[in-house]
Amino acid sequence: MHEEHTKHCVIYCRVSTKEQAEEGNSLITQERLCREYAATNGYTVAEIYIEQGESAKTADRTELKKMISYCTTKKNQVKAVVVYKIDRLSRNTDDYSQIRMMLKRYEVEIKSISEYFEDTPAGRFMENIIANVAQFDNDVRAERCAGGMKEAVKEGRYVWMAPYGYSNVKVNGKSTIAPNELAGLVQKVFERIATAQLPLEEIRQEMIAVGLRMPNGNPMSVNNFHKLVRRELYCGVIKKFGSEYEGSFESILSKELFYKVQDIINGKRTRARTAHDTDFPLRRFLYHPQGKAVTGCWAKGRLKKYPYYMVHGFKVNIRKELLEETFAGWLDNFKFDISTFEQLRKQIEVTLNGYELLTPGFKQQVENQIKQVKEKQSAIINKNIQGVIPDELCREKLQELYIELHTLNQQINQIMQPVKDLSAVLDTARKVLLQPGQTWKNANYKDKLLLQSFYFPDGIAIYKSGSRTPKVCKLLKVKSDFRVSKSLNVDIRKNKSNILHKQISLPWQELKIIEEENKKDSSLTTMETVQELLVLSELFKMEKDRLN
């Protein structure tokens, strides 16, 4: 008789590595608290399902499937699924609704030990709100993650799982990749393909014999081998978000070797690509209004070859020296004079000294506000449960508080850490900002790419009626002489080249900055200026570290 009245439950625990490190919701803690809840509420724990390192974005999880299968088998007589929080089950409202409906069909309840809700209209309403908050939090995290990844690739950093021959590392506190002990094998694979006239499968077998194996010790499969020989990352090129970026990490291969191997695999005649890739820094940075990227080539003349930038299919052909001189001129329109920069330096130093004193107090103030908002949330929920306020008003107030809480959390995340070695940061900025055009011309190929992306994050469109860019870096707005919608005319008439002189009247040499005109204030705060200076300094620091 006793067994017939025993209430059986299952415990489901889940944690991802990131959450375990940041929030302390360890699997051991979750299991212990869930067991205590079950014992207190008269449940007998039938099974425990542990999901480690799995994301709640999807319901396609091994242990979750096993748990649902067990609960939906009538002979097991499960009455409840006990979890630490709703978001342990799912961070997607659609998935959570399906899981709940499936369990309800077999009279199985979901019990969250840290979130209270009953099987009443008010309780189900609160359950839906909690599930929505879990998805909202997940969506915000995903948006931040995508934004961070885009910024990383613009800086030349690869922040995904490192491919064969690379390891995930941190340089100056930022994630990127670096060659490891397997990089030599990658180099040998490409050299062997380039020199031996053998099928890829024979080369794969040869390389397996000398140690080409996966981390688990198994020989590299055909599929993984083909991915390896096609991966442009090995020559320092990152292809992400529909664009191509130059990596700031150390490349295993030269571009010449990589593209030579691609031609061999494709059955084409090999051709040198070094000039095509490194002699034209503005290639793919500039583009035609219809979206087609500007490329570069060497045109054969009667006595020698001449470099040109061009857009295929649109009859755009511009001599390399003319276009690059024009671009340097656009940069020089933003240059600082010494007195202006020294005023900026003084303002930054004074502001940061005061900021370092105010930051702890400001952070504590925001944390107190967060605490107050959470207390308001609890009070509203309790009043709704007690019937003091109706469901509709409860939902409106909670939504307002969730938005306020999200804003406060953003303020905490945006509090800037103390600037290390401010003098070095300002010295680097001084070299660049006093002569931006000359700095760009004197820079090596990789530094040119970094500077271009820093000044004009979205590139520049070459229009016949005048070139345009939708965005310039915030630092350029410090100079009040060059604000939104200014036209930047480049005067290069002093250049002795006759070819340049013949083309100086072309309208495309005028650069127009087209930004949102409805912005009330395009000025830049001192703290935003410091952030931009840190980015600029970091670009040069990364390249210096790479060379060392």
Catalytic residues: 16
- 336 touches 324 (CB < 8 A): no
Q: Which secondary structure element, helix H or strand E, spans residue 260, and what is its range?
A: helix 255-265
**Which has the closest alpha carbon to 86: 98, 101, 96?**
96
What is the rounded CA–CA span in Å between residue 425 and residue 117? 54
Contact 229, 261 (CB under 8 A): yes
Phi, then psi, of 117 in degrees rounded to 5: -155, 145
Largest Cα span, the chain? 105
Write the single-letter amino acid at 368.
N
- C-beta neighbour count of 163 within 10 angstroms: 17
Residue 160 DSSP SS3: coil
69 to each of 10, 100, 135, how far by Cα in Å? 12, 13, 24
At residue 31, the 3 state secondary structure works out as helix
Task: State the CB neighbour count (10 A cutoff) for residue 267.
Answer: 6
Return d(Cα 84, Cα 111) in angstroms, integer: 8
Query: The tokens of 425 are what?
Result: 């940061």
User: What are the CA-CA distances from residue 538 to residues 351, 434, 446 (Å)?
Assistant: 21, 18, 14
C-beta separation of 273 from 186 below 8 A: no
- Calculate the CA dihedral of residues 80, 82, 87, 89 and round it to 10 degrees: -60
